[in-house]
Amino acid sequence: MSTSRLVVVLTGVPGVGKTTVAKMLVARLKGKHVDLSYLAQSEGFVTNWDYQRETGLADLDGIRRRVSEILASEKTLVIEGHFASEIVPPETVYLVFILRRAPWKLKKQLLARGYSKEKVKENVEAELLDVCLFDAMEAYEPEQVCEVDTTDREPEDIVEEILSIIKGDQPCSHGRMDWLGSVEAQQLLEDW
């Protein structure tokens, strides 16, 4: 790990713990936290609203330019967002962590947040089908991409695992989670 610069990306579908983990991780790394969704909203990069999907449509080029400015001025960054793979250039990133949560647990989490049935289904299906992992593998080198299962784990434990991987004490790996092959996932799909 380079001591002069450290850029870590946290991605995953809504409800996996990105924001909580990012805030705790940045405190430990003594860096800056960039929440891409917050950045898009607070700096006027949300250009429209998709009523069917219940989400804002972001000016990705504008966000990329703003993130480039931040990357040029900061040495230690934790960049968080489900669309980070579309924004943060691979040559600037040390490691990308895809936070994962068992889809049947994720469904409960998103319903508790008040998400509509359609929005819950969209995000649970994205988790089932490894969408964030696929996006990260398309955008970054395989050795940069690490999956971390957040299911039934405390945020402190997740942060410790991420720090251990960053330090090289634990391997970075991906492709270990097969939600579709589980009995719970089959039941989840049958319920819809």
Residue-wise pLDDT for 126-147, tens only, equals 999 999 999 999 999 999 999 9
Output the CA–CA distances (angstroms, integers) from residue 46 to 65, 74, 82, in the order listed: 14, 24, 15
Specify the range with the lowest mean pLDDT, choosing from 12-21, 152-161, 183-192. Answer: 183-192
Structure token digits, residue 129: 């089908």
* List of residues 6+ apart from 83 with CB closer than 8 A: 11, 36, 58, 60
Q: Where are the domains of the chain?
A: 6-191
Residue given tokens 């299911």 in the structure block: 151
**Could you confirm whether domain 6-191 is CATH 3.40.50.300?**
yes
Asked if residue 56 lies in contact with residue 40, where contact means CB atoms within 8 angstroms, the answer is: yes
Asked if residue 76 lies in contact with residue 31, where contact means CB atoms within 8 angstroms, the answer is: yes
Question: pLDDT tens digits for 80-127?
Answer: 999 999 999 999 999 999 999 999 999 999 999 999 999 999 999 999
pTM for the model stands at: 0.91
- Long-range pairs for 58-67 at CB < 8 Å and ≥24 separation? 58/83, 60/86, 60/87, 63/36, 63/39, 63/87, 66/39, 67/34, 67/36, 67/39
Question: pLDDT tens digits for 3-51?
Answer: 579 999 999 999 999 999 999 999 999 999 999 999 998 998 988 776 7
